[in-house]
Amino acid sequence: MAAETELNRNKKFMKDVGIYAIGNLGSKLITFFMVPLYTYFIADVSDFGYYDLCLSVVFFFVPFVTLQLGDGAFRFLLNAGNDECRQRAVLSVIYRTLASMLSLSLVIVVAVSMFWQIKYVWLSLGLLFAMSLHDVISQVARGLGYSKLYVASGILSSIGIGAFSVLFVVVFEAGVPGIFWANILSRVVAIIFIELKVGIIRKYLSGNDETAVIGRKRLLGKILKYSLPLVYTTMYWWLINCSDRFFIAHYVGLEQNGIYSVAVRFTAILQTFGFIFYQAWQDSAFRQYNSSDRNSFFSKVLNGYIFAMVVILLLYTFGLKMIYPWLVEGRYQGSIEYLYPLGISAFLYTMVYFTNIIYQCALDTHRTMVQMIVVSCMNIILNFILVRWLGVYGVIVTSIVTYLVLLLYRIFDMVRYVKLKLNISSAVPIIMVVVGMLPFYFDTSLIQDIAFLSAAMILIYLVLPKYYKNMLFSKFHIPDKNSTPG
């Protein structure tokens, strides 16, 4: 019976991985193909660098505008189950609060624009609104059980970005403002799509709100107690992930920031793979956290995650190296040298981000705040020191050190919730990541790159525990009868 339960759990997890992979990979592939388009049609590298700064600022303010209500909606709607009254109460609180925060944001921007003229400020505000609404509404759909719709809306948004980018950037030659409009309109289309399919306003928010004022305040307090720590955590993630653009722009220049931002956009696809596993595991982890074998389950997922992410990292970075000259316009070619170290940084980032789930399972999200304050301060100090000395490489070294320190701390801190056990075999793929830097930088031969990749993949497969091989083979209906869990 236990073996059957574990088999069903694995099948559910792999099914979730497949669902989220379709949505995230589909959307990121479209974003991937937009990079050559932008680098070709945005002739002014500095202007593209300024757009990247605007985008970073928007990402910074999204959690403050949304109060991470999307995460709160998913968690509390999941707890509500099929109880429509509880669902209505949660959605009423979420939508009222979001509307208030959007209104406040508009007032603040209007007041600021009366005293300072900021380039692209209204386009940035439009993108802030679109991203905030799409983030919350898509998570609401997911919390109501529409996981496939959640994925479909992400794909639709990305297709919209591609289509509108071609329209505005290529056809209308609108430049950077065209990129803004493409991102805004694509999310508006996705929001309308979700509403047409689920009818959230029509089904859950229409008519009189029967929730008592006291009841709404009490529920809002519970949701905010869960979501507000995530706001500060997200803010500190921004300080770690995005503040580097401002250091580069100040000490190295907007042109180098534009080149660096191209490499970061490619690296973001690696983070997407991590996010796929994160979303799939989020569903499983919430349900399995109170199970008797959670230590074993969580450890197996973590070790399998390390193997998967290392394989993706090596294949992705070396694959990009082989085709980079055909993907990126000449003015941005210098970004290739940043790909591998940024890949290592992305790997560590996904490992740290993966651990967030355990704090969410324990409803102890506030514990991450102190961690993030410390490492974000360390990140800023290291950037201030290293960027002036190492240039762009300064921010990359800073991010690697920051993520590594945070990951090591969390491994020891999470013992209070889950006792994670790392397999000895997991050291092999990690060693291959370090060794991979040599052929990436010193090999210019395509044959040598392919030879290294082949050797690395064979070695990683040989040390892969039989348990994971069995899970992999089961997807292709090739069971390994000799494999045992562990």
Residues 125 and 180 in one domain: yes
Amino acid 62: pLDDT: 92
Q: Is residue 469 part of a domain?
A: yes
Amino acid 262: pLDDT: 80
Give 44 or 351, the one with higher predicted confidence.
351
* Residue 24 burial (C-beta neighbours within 10 Å; 0-12, 13-18, 19+): buried
CA distance linking residue 37 with residue 136, whole number of Å: 30
Q: Is residue 32 part of a domain?
A: no
3-state secondary structure of 82: coil
Q: What is the mean pLDDT of the chain?
A: 81
CA distance linking residue 149 with residue 432, whole number of Å: 38
Average pLDDT over residues 265-285: 76
Whether residue 86 is predicted with pLDDT greater than 60 in this model: the reply is: yes
Amino acid 101: pLDDT: 95
Q: Is residue 30 part of a domain?
A: no
Cα Rg for the chain, rounded, in angstroms?
Answer: 23
Query: Of 186, 216, 241, which closes a domain?
Result: 241
pTM for this one? 0.67
Amino acid 464: pLDDT: 87
Residues 338 and 452 in one domain: yes
pLDDT confidence tier of residue 131, bands split at 50, 70 and 90: very high
Residues 269 and 377 in one domain: yes
Whether residue 485 is predicted with pLDDT greater than 50 in this model: the reply is: no
Read off the amino acid at residue 372: M
Amino acid 32: pLDDT: 61
**In 144-175, which residue ranges form alpha helices assigned H by DSSP?**
147-165
Average pLDDT over residues 261-274: 78
Residues 210 and 248 in one domain: no
Amino acid 28: pLDDT: 60
Amino acid 123: pLDDT: 95
Query: Of 241, 272, 298, which closes a domain?
Result: 241
Average pLDDT over residues 120-148: 92
Residues 255 and 110 in one domain: no
Amino acid 1: pLDDT: 40
pLDDT confidence tier of residue 140, bands split at 50, 70 and 90: very high
Q: Strand locations in 204-319, DSSP E?
A: none
Amino acid 437: pLDDT: 85
3-state secondary structure of 199: coil
Query: Residues 466, 471, 476, 478: what is their CA dihedral angle, to the nearest 10 degrees?
Result: 40
pLDDT confidence tier of residue 370, bands split at 50, 70 and 90: confident
Give 204 or 373, the one with higher predicted confidence.
373
Name the DSSP letter for residue 417.
Answer: T
Residues 378 and 230 in one domain: no
Decide: 315 and 343 in contact? Cβ < 8 Å: no
Residues 251 and 212 in one domain: no
Whether residue 55 is predicted with pLDDT greater than 60 in this model: the reply is: yes
Average pLDDT over residues 454-480: 73
CA distance linking residue 409 with residue 79, whole number of Å: 30
In total, how many domains does the chain have?
2
Question: What percent of the residues of the chain are helix, what percent strand, and what percent coil, each to the nearest 5?
Answer: 85, 0, 15
CA torsion through residues 351, 56, 233, 102, sign: negative
In 3D, which of 289, 275, 270, 246 has the Cα closest to residue 17? 275
Whether residue 472 is predicted with pLDDT greater than 50 in this model: the reply is: yes
CA distance linking residue 189 with residue 230, whole number of Å: 27
Q: Is residue 471 part of a domain?
A: yes
Q: Is residue 177 part of a domain?
A: yes
Residues 248 and 223 in one domain: no
CA distance linking residue 52 with residue 93, whole number of Å: 34
Phi, psi of 252 (to 5 degrees): -110, -35
Amino acid 189: pLDDT: 96
Dihedral class, residue 230 (left if φ above 0, else alpha if ψ from -120 to 50, else beta): alpha
Give 287 or 322, the one with higher predicted confidence.
322
Whether residue 208 is predicted with pLDDT greater than 80 in this model: the reply is: no
Amino acid 29: pLDDT: 62
Decide: 240 and 374 in contact? Cβ < 8 Å: no
User: What's the domain range around 4?
Assistant: 1-25+243-486
Residues 21 and 151 in one domain: no
Q: How many residues are recorded in the chain?
A: 486
Average pLDDT over residues 68-89: 84
pLDDT confidence tier of residue 138, bands split at 50, 70 and 90: very high
Residue appearing with tokens 């300072």: 116
189 token code pair: 């289309």
Read off the amino acid at residue 170: V
Whether residue 4 is predicted with pLDDT greater than 50 in this model: the reply is: no
Read off the amino acid at residue 230: L
423 token code pair: 């397999």
Give 480 or 352, the one with higher predicted confidence.
352
Residues 10 and 129 in one domain: no
Residues 127 and 254 in one domain: no
Q: Is residue 31 part of a domain?
A: no
Residues 214 and 325 in one domain: no
Of 65-69, 163-167, 231-235, 427-431, the range with the lowest mean pLDDT is 231-235
Amino acid 19: pLDDT: 61
pLDDT confidence tier of residue 290, bands split at 50, 70 and 90: confident
176 token code pair: 């950077």
Say how far residue 381 (Cα) sits from the centre of its chain. Answer: 25
Average pLDDT over residues 299-307: 86
Query: Of 212, 241, 270, which closes a domain?
Result: 241
Average pLDDT over residues 304-312: 89
Phi, psi of 290 (to 5 degrees): -95, 10
Amino acid 372: pLDDT: 81
Tell me the pLDDT tens digit for each residue of 313-365: 999 888 888 887 777 777 777 778 888 999 999 899 888 878 888 887 877 77
Query: Residues 218, 219, 224, 226: what is their CA dihedral angle, to the nearest 10 degrees?
Result: 120
Average pLDDT over residues 120-138: 95
Tell me the pLDDT tens digit for each residue of 409-425: 888 888 888 888 888 88
Q: Is residue 33 part of a domain?
A: no
Q: Is residue 70 part of a domain?
A: yes
Give 385 or 364, the one with higher predicted confidence.
385
Decide: 175 and 118 in contact? Cβ < 8 Å: no
Whether residue 192 is predicted with pLDDT greater than 60 in this model: the reply is: yes
